[in-house]
Amino acid sequence: MTHVPFLDVAGTARWIRRDGAEAIIAALTDAVESDFRRWPRFDKTPRVASHSRDGVIELMPTSDGEAYGFKYVNGHPSNPARGLQTVTAFGVLARVDSGYPTFVAEMTLLTALRTAATSAMAARHLARPDASVMAMIGTGSQSEFQALGFRAALGIRSLRIWDVDEAAMAKFVRNVEPLGFTVHVASSAADAVRGADVITTCTADKQRAVVLTDDMVAPGVHINAIGGDCPGKTELDPAILHRADVFVEYEPQTRIEGEIQAVAPDSPVTELWRVVGGEAPGRRDASSVTVFDSVGFAVEDFAALTFAHRAVAGTDLVSWLDLIADPADPKDLFALVAEAGVALSPAS
C-alpha cells in the first residue's frame, strides 16, 4: 500500500466540530494518562531543537517498541506581528517492524488539544478536588482549549484572565462566554490570581520573565506552568519553586527548558508518570502548593497521534498521501521512473 492516511487542518477542524472540543479533550486526557501509565515502555529523549534569533524548530520523537511517532514543531513569538501563528506542527506515526508510515497529521490544532489534555490530566492528580476558579495569565491560542480541559477534568467554569494584549483577552471572552464560562477580565496578573484555585501561565515571549510572583500564590493553589518551554524562557518567580512540590514530564528535558532551569540542578522534582502510576505521591494536603512544570514531551504527542488516528479512521475527514515508493521489485526503485513515462536522455 503506497497511500498513507492524512488528517489535514480542515479535517481536524471538522473533527472538533463533529465531536466537540471538550469531549475530545476529555477522551484524550484519558489516552494521555494511559500512556503515562506505561511510561517505562517508551524510548525517551529530550527533543532535538534548532534555535535561532527568531525562534526554535524542534523534532520530538518516541516509540513504544511497536509504533514510532514524531512531531515537527516551531515556536516563533514574533510571528503574530507578521500575521503568522506562533506555533505550527505536524506529526507522523510509523510501524517499527517495517519503518513504513501509517498516519500523517497536522498538529497545530492537535497540539492545542493534547496540551490541554495533558494539563487536565496533571490537574486531576495535583489540584484540589474542590477547585472551582482558574486564573489564566496569557490568553493566546492555547487558552480556550485549556479552559475546556479544566472544565472537563475539574468542572471549572469561573475564569479570571490577564494578558498584556487587550485584544487577546477580548478574543478569549468572545470565544468562551458562549460556551458557558463566567469570565472576569482582570486589571493585572495579581488581580487575575486573586481567589483562584488553579493558575495557568501561558505566555509566548522567549525570555526569562516573572509573570507570577511568590506573594501572588496562596496556599493550596495548583500552578499549571506551560509557557516556559525552551532554554532561557521562564514565567515563575523561583521562590515559588522553592516552596512548592514540583512535577515534570521528563526531568532531563525540563532541566534544560522548564521553570526549573532557574533553580539548582539538584532541586527536587517528581516525574508525573510516577504519580499517575501510584509510585509517588501527588498533592500532599489541601494547603500544599503544586506546580506542573510542563514543557511538552513526545509521549503526549504519540498519544495524541494514535488517538486521532483511531478517531478519524475510515471517515471522510481523512485524505490520502501517495507517500511510499512501492515498485514491484523492491530492489528496482528505478523502475518507477520508467513506469511514469519519463523520457530518459543519454548523457551528452
Distance CA 41, CA 93 (A): 17
What's residue 232's pLDDT? 85
Confidence band of 154 (pLDDT split at 50, 70, 90): very high
State the distance between the two ends of the chain, measured CA to CA, in whole angstroms.
Answer: 38
- Specify the length of the chain in residues: 348
Mean pLDDT of 224-244: 91
Going by C-beta distance under 8 Å and a sequence separation of 6 or more, which residues neighbour residue 130? 197
Which residues carry out catalysis?
229
Q: Which has the minimum average pLDDT: 25-39, 158-172, 228-242?
A: 228-242
The answer, yes or no, to whether residue 339 has pLDDT greater than 90, is no
The C-alpha cell of 80 is what?
503574530
pLDDT mean over 62-82: 94
The DSSP H or E segment spanning 201 is: strand 198-201
Band of pLDDT at residue 309, cut at 50, 70 and 90: very high
Q: Average the pLDDT over 101-130 and give the result.
A: 97
Average pLDDT over residues 326-338: 91
DSSP symbol at 81: G
pLDDT higher than threshold 70 for residue 346: no
- Does residue 3 surpass a pLDDT of 60? yes
The residue with cell 514491484 is 328
Pairing of β 67-75 and β 89-95: antiparallel
Q: Give the model's pLDDT for residue 87.
A: 87
pLDDT computed for residue 237 by the predictor:
95
pLDDT at residue 316, as a whole number? 97
Q: What's the rounded mean pLDDT across residues 168-181?
A: 98
Using the predicted structure, report yes or no on whether residue 42 has a pLDDT greater than 90: yes
pLDDT band at 342 (very low <50, low <70, confident <90, very high): low
Strands 89-95, 101-106: pairing is antiparallel
User: Does position 1 have pLDDT exceeding 60, yes or no?
Assistant: no
Collect all residues with Cβ–Cβ distance below 8 Å to 126 and sequence separation of at least 6. Answer: 222, 247, 275, 282, 283, 290, 292
What confidence tier does 347 reach under pLDDT thresholds 50, 70, 90?
A: low
| pLDDT over 60 (residue 310) | yes
pLDDT at 233 over 90: no
Does the pTM surpass 0.75? The reply is yes
